[in-house]
Amino acid sequence: MQTSPDTNNKINVQTLAELGPLPMKVSLGCALLLPVAFFLGYSSENGMEKFAFSYLQSTFFFLSISLGALFFVMIQQLTRAGWSVVLRRLSEFISMGVVPLAVLVLPIVLMVLAGNDTLYPWANAEEVAKDHLMPAKAPFLNSGFFALRYVIYFGSWIFLARFFLNKSVAQDENGDPELTLLMERRSGPGLLLFAFTLSFAAIDFLMSLDPHWFSTIFGIYYFAAGLVGFFSTLAICLIYLRSKGLLQAPVSIEHLHDVGKLLFAFNCFWAYIAISQYLLIWYANIPEETIFFQHRQEHGWGTISLILVIGHFMIPFVFFMSRWMKRNPKTLFFWAVYLLVMNWIDIFWLVLPNAKAGGEPLGVSFGMILVDVCCTIGVGGLYVAGILKLAGQKSVMPVRDPRLEESLKFHNI
Amino acid sequence: MATTIEQSEKTKAEPELIGLLAEFDDPQALIDASMKVRDAGYRNWDTHTPFPLHGIDEAMGIKFTILPWIVAACGLTGGTIAVGMQYWMNAVDYPFMISGKPLFSLPACIPIIFELSVLLAAFGAFFGMLGLNQLPKLYNPLFKSDAFRRVTNDRFFISMDASDAKFSEIDSGEFLNSLNPISVEECWSDVSSPKLPRNLVLGLSLVGVIMLLPPALVAYKRSTTTNTPRIHIIPDMDFQPSLKAQNTTNLFPDGREIRPSIKGAIPRGQFKDDNIPFYYGLKELPEDRDVVGIALQDEKKADAKKADAKKPVEAKAADAKPAAGKPAVVDAAAEAAKKLDKLPWVTEFPMPVTEKMMARGKERFRIYCSVCHGLSGDGDGLVSLRAMELLQGTWVKPASYHTDNVRKQPVGRLFNTISNGVRKMPGYSAQIPPEDRWAIVLYLRALQKSRYTDANTLKDDEKSKLRDTK
């Protein structure tokens, strides 16, 4: 491989710090909504259940985005992609969101360790003993092993995210092309580790909310949701940063177009996985499987399910398909925000129908949505603040990556 | 490529100028020249490069391709065909109820919709691309030029078609020369024969003949019979090791494959309380509780004998006891029927009759009964029709509900028939809960009534309703 060109002469290093203190202040301000959500929950009927599930939903909404970013970073390295070099550092920053999230998810794990069964019925030994199926699943679904798995999952993700960011940042300093080769070699096993940890984490934290129900495609469903979330976030960040003068020249409309294409493609992928899960359960019509969709057709959840079918798939499929929509920053920004909201509703639809109070499932209510929105903004504030802190003074672009030239000249046909 | 070759008989003798070819050695020079040709107002011209050139579309003034619209239209067509085809097949042409599932349901159609949309969209993309590029083209006069050979290597060309309205041999030549090309060349039409090469004709004919073989083989196999047994591709599926009724096994000490029910066990949902009419269709149980069962068995036995007597007529004729069985069998059947007739069947429904019950009865009837008895109860269901075709003599046709015999039967007797079966019909008490069986009886009564109602006794609004419904 050729030695990387010293591009420092041509490209001045930009950092997120150039945005000024405002983003950090805004995100910390948003974080104040987290206690607000807590008190909203505390003061309303069945509020603690609402808050607990909203908190789980919020953390796993942002986790899906960070995991999507981690996947993107590794797949770009694995495939030796040239076009995406200018976007990769930003993706690496987003993937570092697993660090603040590891702390944010900790209370959920502590709750399980304390034997609280608000979220997970299997955490309560008495309930497990009364049940016919949970004792059989107890060797896997028990609080000790759950906590251990939490450590493994987040340990792996933090390790992977830090590895790819640090090696890439080190290359900014010395321009060593060997680092690129090292990252390429590590990305293969890294993706394998990622695939297992993500699937099992989705099963542990989201699917086991209903310990009787199972779906073997669930991990991929969460993965698909995460990629939709990540590409939306990436498009929003790029367009925002460009408007603030960062990455304006390096990230051209061609790159935005490709991010839009990936967003569209993974939205279709999400729909494909969702219908695959639905169709098999619908066709087999076995009560222990259909219960998942039955829950989501009652107590107002039917509306949310329909919003997902029409809003998450059909509308973007028809209107976001055209090339023009993806090549115009304004329309791309609109669709990215729209699909991010849809992704939020998707995770909301996965988590909240499991909320029960006194054995009775809670229906969709304004209070529930309010608590969840406040909670999401609060958690999001901490998440973004964490990413900004970790990004610090690092360049927003891998300025001495050997494939930078290729990326800068990238052009769609 | 806009240049085309149209060879008439006349041009065979005299070559015609069909275009000009300008050669460039630099992609940027080609782009600059293209802009000038575009601005000069030429339409039938093209550029040729060894690799895809960014910016050439704008330089040539080519509009964005309409291919996406063709693909979208084909995809939509595919999706529409898929929905229409499945609707027509499942709900219109061959409506076959399978375990109570709706005849047409969108989720079941989605895989086919997806596949057909993708298939037609791909066809649209592939053939649309070929069509828009005017491909495949077997011959292009440009290939006659020696200089043009370098187009796949390191040279860039502009070709201008003589059919362009602005084209004139002298002006256009001068214009092209003003673009600073390496050279400008004239293209003349080919005077040699446009016939295909002999080897190609032979090869294509051979491929054509080979392609005829598979259909010919299929046609041959379909029109002949064979003695070799069919090939079992998946023997595990054809010969399953599962236990079946009426067979023996050494797995259990009693040697029966089907397990008898445990004494005193009540199957789920089969508990019967004191409501005799509801569970048995009888006003009261006869003192001998088994009388219903015995009567039924008698009838079945008699029926089996009758079939027996019918079948080997020739064999029996040679036997020592000619035709002796026949009257006896008829006697037994009549006796059994009489026994059943004598039982105290209920003549009224043991529950209030409601509209809801009728709807339920219709639904259940279509699920369980219509496959044999037909949707209108004439005994012409699809299973029956098929069985008549396959089994010929041995299949006992299901009864029509519209015979006097069935019409006269009290509701309790009909209920009993559904529960315990009659002749070849098995009992359905295990599949259908009693309230549903009663609902079916109710619907059955409605079907019978529909045949024997005098139109003159109907009210006007009922008549108009009948006329309007299809």
Q: pLDDT tens digit string along B77-126? A: 999 999 999 999 988 888 777 766 788 888 888 899 999 999 999 999 99
Nearest by CB to residue B108, choosing from A283, A321, A322, is: A283
Nearest by CB to residue B107, choosing from A278, A321, A322, is: A278
Nearest by CB to residue A279, choosing from B54, B72, B107, is: B107
Instruction: Kindly tell me if the per-residue pLDDT of A269 is higher than 80.
Output: yes
pLDDT of the residue at A322: 86
**Dist CA A354 CA A301 (whole Å):** 11
pLDDT of the residue at B395: 80
Question: Is residue B232 one of the residues assigned to a domain?
Answer: no
Structural domain tally of chain B? 2
Residues A121-147: b if buried by 16+ CB within 10 A, e if exposed: bbbbeeebeebeebeebbeebbbeebe
pLDDT of the residue at A102: 92
What is the mean predicted confidence (pLDDT) over B447-470? 82
Domain extent, residue B402, equals 276-453
Instruction: Kindly tell me if the per-residue pLDDT of B209 is higher than 90.
Output: yes
**Dist CA A367 CA A42 (whole Å):** 12
**Dist CA A216 CA A206 (whole Å):** 13
**Dist CA A121 CA A128 (whole Å):** 8
Looking at B192, B209, B244, the residue that finishes a domain is B192
pLDDT of the residue at B288: 58
Cα angle A229, A260, A76 (rounded to 5 degrees) comes to 75
Whether residues B107 and A411 touch (CB distance < 8 A) is answered with: no
Whether residues B54 and A411 touch (CB distance < 8 A) is answered with: yes
| Together in a domain, B179 and B40 | yes
**Dist CA A231 CA B36 (whole Å):** 42
Nearest by CB to residue A413, choosing from B52, B72, B107, is: B52
Question: Is residue B314 one of the residues assigned to a domain?
Answer: yes
Nearest-CA residue of chain B relative to A324?
B64
- Helix extents (H) in A251-300: 253-284, 287-295
Length of chain B: 470
Mark out chain A residues that contact chain B at CB-CB < 8 A. Answer: 275, 278-279, 282-283, 321-323, 411, 413
Question: Is residue A8 one of the residues assigned to a domain?
Answer: no
Nearest-CA residue of chain A relative to B100?
A285
- Contacts of residue A219, Cβ cutoff 8 Å, sequence gap at least 6: A198, A199, A200, A202, A203
B52 to chain A: which residues are within 8 Å by CB? 413
Nearest by CB to residue A279, choosing from B54, B68, B110, is: B110
Among A269, A273, A282, which would you mutate to test the B interface (most chain B Cβ atoms within 10 Å of its Cβ)? A282
Nearest-CA residue of chain B relative to A409?
B54
Element (H, E) at B159: strand B156-161
pLDDT of the residue at B52: 87
Report chain A's C-alpha Rg in angstroms. Answer: 22
Structural domain tally of chain A? 1
pLDDT of the residue at B295: 56
- Helix extents (H) in B154-290: 169-177, 198-223, 235-238, 276-280
Q: What is the dihedral of CA B324, B326, B332, B336, to 10 degrees?
A: 180
A280 Cα to chain B: minimum distance (Å): 10
**Dist CA B15 CA B17 (whole Å):** 7
Q: Higher model confidence: residue B253 or residue B468?
A: B253
**Dist CA B51 CA B49 (whole Å):** 5
Question: Is residue A22 one of the residues assigned to a domain?
Answer: no
Question: Is residue B393 one of the residues assigned to a domain?
Answer: yes
A223 Cα to chain B: minimum distance (Å): 22
B68 to chain A: which residues are within 8 Å by CB? 322-323
Kindly report, residue by residue over A131-176, the tens digit of the pLDDT: 888 888 888 888 889 999 999 999 999 999 999 999 888 888 888 8
| Together in a domain, B291 and B438 | yes
Question: Is residue A224 one of the residues assigned to a domain?
Answer: yes
Closest-CA residue to A217 (of A136, A67, B116, A225): A225
Of A5-9, A120-124, B181-185, B273-277, the one with minimum mean pLDDT is A5-9
| Together in a domain, B171 and B300 | no
A322 to chain B: which residues are within 8 Å by CB? 68
The answer to whether the beta carbons of residues B428 and B419 sit under 8 Å apart is yes
Amino acid present at B71 = V
The conformation of residue B459, written as its DSSP 8-state character, comes to -
Domain extent, residue A148, equals 38-403
Question: The domain spanning residue B415 has which CATH number?
Answer: 1.10.760.10
